[in-house]
Amino acid sequence: DAMEGEALVIKCPRWSSSVKVTWYHTVTNKIIPAEEEGSRIFSSKRFLWFLPSSREDSGNYTCVIHFSNNRTKSFNMSVQVHPYKQGVCFPSQIRYPNDTGRGKIVCPTIDNYKNATIIQWYKDCKPLQGERYFKGEKYIFINNPRKEDDGYYTCQFIYTHKGNVFNVSATRIFISKAKHAPLPPQILFPKDKDVIEVELGAALSLQCQALLGIKKQPMAVVTWDVDNIPVKSLGFSRFHEKTHFFEGREQEYYRETTLHITEIKKEDLQANFTCVAVNEMHNTKATVMLQLKAQCE
């Protein structure tokens, strides 16, 4: 995944210098040629380049390896280019596997970009500064890491191709050896200002899922408000919540709360439904509204 406007390269999983690789748009089955003058998307052996990436590049791509005995092997690759948002240094979807405990955080993907130069490191979207941080060519080292060092680390680097300069950024979670680590809460869905289509009299379930930290959190709340009043305080029998939690592959702690509405009424179309996620560090919100489904004539 990538942020729009940044350079992006993906590579065919298996490759050796003795084989030929062909890249295709999976849906159209059109070959993506080698670089031509002015081309933004081009193939180069095992690599497929987007210089720079655009939201319209999102989709599936296929690399085909041609062996000398006329056999071929295909791999499908998915690309998702996320829109740039002011004040958001990385979308929640763009994360690489965790670094744990040792204090050395390697910049993901930088080895795919020849002669790239790191210009800045960020922690939780803030520029990283201080004597405890040693910056290497491709990594940052935290001296004596502790719990407050847990968080999202983003490396931002520049890649130069034929005189053109492109930004690239990559983010991963660092976890010290603490028993648990809160992270700035992120609501994965719904998106803020989403509009949900409904029918009067019908039932509705609104789901809210948030990432709250690494390992089980002592303070982790995901709940729904209606016009800034907690659902639990409304006393309406047609609103009720159900919550569960689960852990991801890297021990990420997620909490999901579903607001069940037994019957949609007209006044609900004027209400703000807000998911609130809270942990030891912070709180965040996402508000959705309801609108009637368009009637087919």
Domain that holds residue 267: 183-292
Q: 147 and 194 share a domain?
A: no
Q: 77 and 126 share a domain?
A: no
Does residue 122 belong to any structural domain of this protein?
A: yes
Beta-strand relationship, 117-123 and 126-127: antiparallel
Does residue 87 belong to any structural domain of this protein?
A: no
Does residue 297 belong to any structural domain of this protein?
A: no
C-alpha atoms less than 13 angstroms from C-alpha of 184 in its C-beta half-sphere: 15
Quote the number of domains for the chain. Answer: 3
Q: 131 and 188 share a domain?
A: no
Q: 7 and 53 share a domain?
A: yes
Q: Measured between alpha carbons, how far is residue 292 from residues 136, 224, 238, 295 in Å? A: 56, 21, 19, 8
pTM score = 0.59
**Amino acid at the residue 165:** V
Among the candidates 143, 178, 213, a domain finishes at: 178
- pLDDT confidence bin for 197, thresholds 50/70/90: very high
Does residue 218 belong to any structural domain of this protein?
A: yes
Question: Over the stretch 60-90, which tens digit does the pLDDT of each residue have?
Answer: 999 999 888 888 889 998 998 888 776 666 6
Q: What is the CATH number of the domain that holds 156?
A: 2.60.40.10
Average model confidence (pLDDT) across the chain: 86
CA distance 233 to 78: 44
Does residue 264 belong to any structural domain of this protein?
A: yes
Among the candidates 59, 82, 105, a domain finishes at: 82
Residue 24, pLDDT above cutoff 90: yes
Does residue 90 belong to any structural domain of this protein?
A: no
Question: Over the stretch 84-143, which tens digit does the pLDDT of each residue have?
Answer: 776 666 655 556 666 655 678 888 888 889 888 888 899 888 888 888 888 888 888 888
- pLDDT confidence bin for 210, thresholds 50/70/90: very high
Q: Which of 187, 287, 284, 273 is nearest to 230 (CA)?
A: 273
Q: 17 and 53 share a domain?
A: yes
Residue 248 in tokens: 């991801």
